[in-house]
Amino acid sequence: ANFGSYDQATGVWTIGSVNVGVAATLVIQAEVLAPASGIPPAQTNTASIQTADQYDPDPNNNSATATETPQYADLQVTKTVSNPAPNVGADVVFTILVENLGADAATNVSVDDLLPAGLSFVSASSQAYDPGTGVWSVGTVDVGAANTEVLTITATVVASGSFTNEAEVSTTSPPDQYDPDLTNNKGSATVITREADLFVTKTVSNDKPNVGDLITFTVTVRNDGPDTANNVEIKDYFPIAGLKLVTSNPSQGTFTFDTATGTGVWTVGTIDAGVTEQQTLTIEARVLPPATDTIPPSQTNVAEVTKVDEHDPNPLNNRGQVSETPQYADLAVTKVTTNVQPNVGDIFTYTVTLQNLGTATATNVQVTEAFPNNISVQKITPTGQTRFSPTATGGIWSIPSIAPGGSEVLVIVAEATSASVAYNTVRIKHSDVWDPVSGNNQDRTPTDPQQADLFLTKTVDTARPEVNDQVTFTLTLENLGPTAAQNVTVTDLLPAGLDFVSANPASEYNDNSGVWTVGNGTLAASATETLTITAKVLEPVGGTGPVSASTNTGTASSTTVDPNPANNIGTATVT
């Protein structure tokens, strides 16, 4: 004031004396206060002359007023997102609108919008946005919808879950104007990533098949939700080393198979959530034989999810696998005989034994029996439930099943019919179960009937004796083999003109029958026996005339077959 003083507490300005034509001035500075709520009202300030010593002829101009109306700007923030249910890895666009619903332009406006974890900044529509601080320096926002400020922020969803992005008029650097409604100064948008829990299982129709069997693998995929799964792809890693894919049948989509790598791709497509929406892939495969004389290895078939648009919250159940282990049974066949070297006419027995040395029951086993041509089969007896079916050259022994550690026996009674050497062979022809050892699948037994080549020679000590002289015949019998000769005899009856005197050994020769029982009846191979017979040369009948020549013949025989009977005769002549 240029005159007097002002009491702020009472609002009284004491001026004192004012000369005519002189103006007294008071300047009051005041702060415009915010209202308790709502729009700030207009404020009227009145100044009135209260007292003066002199008479005032015109009291109507003794009072004056001034009104101030505070500015206000009601800022409203709204926020939307282009896709509230995106997949992980997808881009979403947030749109922030700032509108001034007030009466005055808002100045120095800034909005805080910092992206939450799980969202990665890509771009913004305005350089006024700082992605590092999340501050959008808007500036001035004029009144009215037509003057709405817009910012778009593009972000990538980098994690699964629920993420809320908020935009709010800055409280640390508020606008210049009063905002009567702070409740609309904030806007938010939430993205909840799509999730589809895929559950994969794999089964096989027979986990212990036989080599050569057809087995079926079944891949099942189910979506346990909560959202629909799109663009689902499952790879099947097929063990081509031990299996051959025959057919494939997907319930939905397509299945392609690379025979070189054994990798199959099942393009399933879309799977809705729920147990009833599960899809299946069946693969029929044949069990391949392993290398000869090897145990068939286990084969594991794996199927796993390799692609899906949605996030899978439980990837541990995205893989299914199953193994199959082909059965094997090491079958061994042996054959023995009670007599490897029978005599022709002897009855003897073959015993064929089949054993299962493996770990699995062998089924539908067939053993071929090839009989040699030097026997005559008399009787065949298979054990248990086995049976023998004769053929032109032998027969087939059929065994329905034989458990691990089990054995079956086939007994064959035969007669030796000729002295030739031949082999009786048995061979395992078939088994449903793989046999990893082929070396014991065949056996043979020789049938070599006994043979003894007897060789008889005969000499005389005096080929031209005198009448009444004694002559000695020497018989030498040798067994040229290959086996001992049984029941060996030599028939040597003296002819007319000779009279028996003696024999050595005397006990072995019967002069009446002329039979020499050689030794004890058995002559070993390569052995030699000798008999001497002494005889007297007789006078001719009637005592006159010439003495006739006398030929003494010996013939060897045996119950053992002689392969060369031509050398069984020995002769000697005296004249």
Cβ neighbours for 16, distance < 8 A, ≥ 6 positions apart: 3, 4
Architecture of the CATH domain 452-574: Sandwich (2.60)
pLDDT-derived band at 36 (thresholds 50, 70, 90) equals confident
Q: What is the mean pLDDT of residues 169-196?
A: 91
Whether residue 1 is predicted with pLDDT greater than 80 in this model: the reply is: no
Whether residue 448 is predicted with pLDDT greater than 80 in this model: the reply is: no
pLDDT-derived band at 2 (thresholds 50, 70, 90) equals confident
| The pLDDT of residue 543 | 55
Q: What is the mean pLDDT of residues 543-548?
A: 55
| The pLDDT of residue 219 | 98
Judge contact between 195 and 312, C-beta under 8 A.
yes
Provide the 3-class DSSP secondary structure of residue 575.
Answer: coil
pLDDT-derived band at 205 (thresholds 50, 70, 90) equals very high
Judge contact between 94 and 124, C-beta under 8 A.
no
Cβ neighbours for 526, distance < 8 A, ≥ 6 positions apart: 478, 479, 480, 481
| The pLDDT of residue 547 | 56
Judge contact between 498 and 467, C-beta under 8 A.
no
Cβ neighbours for 518, distance < 8 A, ≥ 6 positions apart: 477, 488, 489, 490, 508, 529, 531, 556
What residues form DSSP beta bridges with 413? 349, 379
Whether residue 133 is predicted with pLDDT greater than 90 in this model: the reply is: yes
pLDDT-derived band at 435 (thresholds 50, 70, 90) equals very high
pLDDT-derived band at 69 (thresholds 50, 70, 90) equals confident
Whether residue 9 is predicted with pLDDT greater than 60 in this model: the reply is: yes
Q: What is the mean pLDDT of residues 347-370?
A: 95
Q: What DSSP character marks residue 116?
A: P
pLDDT-derived band at 462 (thresholds 50, 70, 90) equals very high
Please provide the DSSP assignment of 316-347 as one string: GGSEEEEEE---B--EEEEEEES-SSPPTT-E
SS (H, E, C) 426-478: EEEEECCCECCCCCCCEEEEEECCCEEEEEEEEEECCCCCCCCCEEEEEEEEE
Question: From the centroid of its chain, how far is CA 456?
Answer: 76
Residue 75 to residue 119: CA distance in whole angstroms: 27
Whether residue 232 is predicted with pLDDT greater than 60 in this model: the reply is: yes
Please state the length of the chain.
575
Residue 289 to residue 284: CA distance in whole angstroms: 16
Whether residue 144 is predicted with pLDDT greater than 60 in this model: the reply is: yes
Residue 515 to residue 555: CA distance in whole angstroms: 9
Which amino acid does the sequence have at 123?
Answer: S
196-324, what's its fold? Immunoglobulin-like (2.60.40)
Which amino acid does the sequence have at 218?
Answer: T
Q: What is the mean pLDDT of residues 29-52?
A: 86
| The pLDDT of residue 542 | 58
| The pLDDT of residue 509 | 94
Nearest to 23 by CA among 15, 12, 11, 33: 15
Whether residue 519 is predicted with pLDDT greater than 90 in this model: the reply is: no
| The pLDDT of residue 202 | 98
147 phi and psi angles, rounded to 5 deg: -105, 20
Residue 460 to residue 315: CA distance in whole angstroms: 111
Q: What is the mean pLDDT of residues 222-240?
A: 96
Instruction: Lowest mean pLDDT of 29-38, 84-93, 324-333, 556-565, name the range.
Output: 29-38
Whether residue 105 is predicted with pLDDT greater than 60 in this model: the reply is: yes
Q: What are the start and end residues of each CATH 2.60.40.740 domain in the chain?
A: 452-574
Residue 201 to residue 156: CA distance in whole angstroms: 33
Judge contact between 66 and 48, C-beta under 8 A.
no
Whether residue 293 is predicted with pLDDT greater than 80 in this model: the reply is: yes
| The pLDDT of residue 345 | 85
Q: What is the mean pLDDT of residues 370-396?
A: 93
Judge contact between 329 and 360, C-beta under 8 A.
yes
- Identify the helix (H) or strand (E) that includes residue 324: strand 319-324
CATH class belonging to 75-192: mainly beta
| The pLDDT of residue 373 | 84
Q: What are the start and end residues of each CATH 2.60.40.10 domain in the chain?
A: 75-192
pLDDT-derived band at 251 (thresholds 50, 70, 90) equals very high
| The pLDDT of residue 549 | 80
What residues form DSSP beta bridges with 233? 267, 307
Copy the structure tokens of residue 133. Answer: 């601080």
| The pLDDT of residue 546 | 52
SS (H, E, C) 59-114: HHHCEEEEEECCCECCEEEEEEECCCCCCCCCEEEEEEEEEECCCCCEEEEEEECC
Architecture of the CATH domain 331-447: Sandwich (2.60)
Q: Please state whether the peptide bond connecting residue 59 to the residue before it is cis, i.e. omega within 30 degrees of 0.
A: no
Q: What is the mean pLDDT of residues 377-381?
A: 95
Q: Tell me what the pLDDT averaged over the chain comes to.
A: 92
Provide the 3-class DSSP secondary structure of residue 506.
Answer: helix
CA distances from 340 to 2, 347, 454, 521 (A): 155, 11, 22, 22
* pTM of the predicted protein model: 0.66
Cβ neighbours for 527, distance < 8 A, ≥ 6 positions apart: 478, 479
Q: Which residue has the tokens 């690379």?
A: 258
Residue 475 to residue 530: CA distance in whole angstroms: 6
Residue 430, Ramachandran bin (φ over 0: left; ψ between -120 and 50: alpha; else beta): beta
Q: How far apart are the first and last CA of the chain?
A: 199
Provide the 3-class DSSP secondary structure of residue 282.
Answer: strand
Nearest to 530 by CA among 454, 458, 451: 458
Q: Which is higher by pLDDT, 518 or 559?
A: 518
Q: What are the start and end residues of each CATH 2.60.40.1530 domain in the chain?
A: 196-324, 331-447
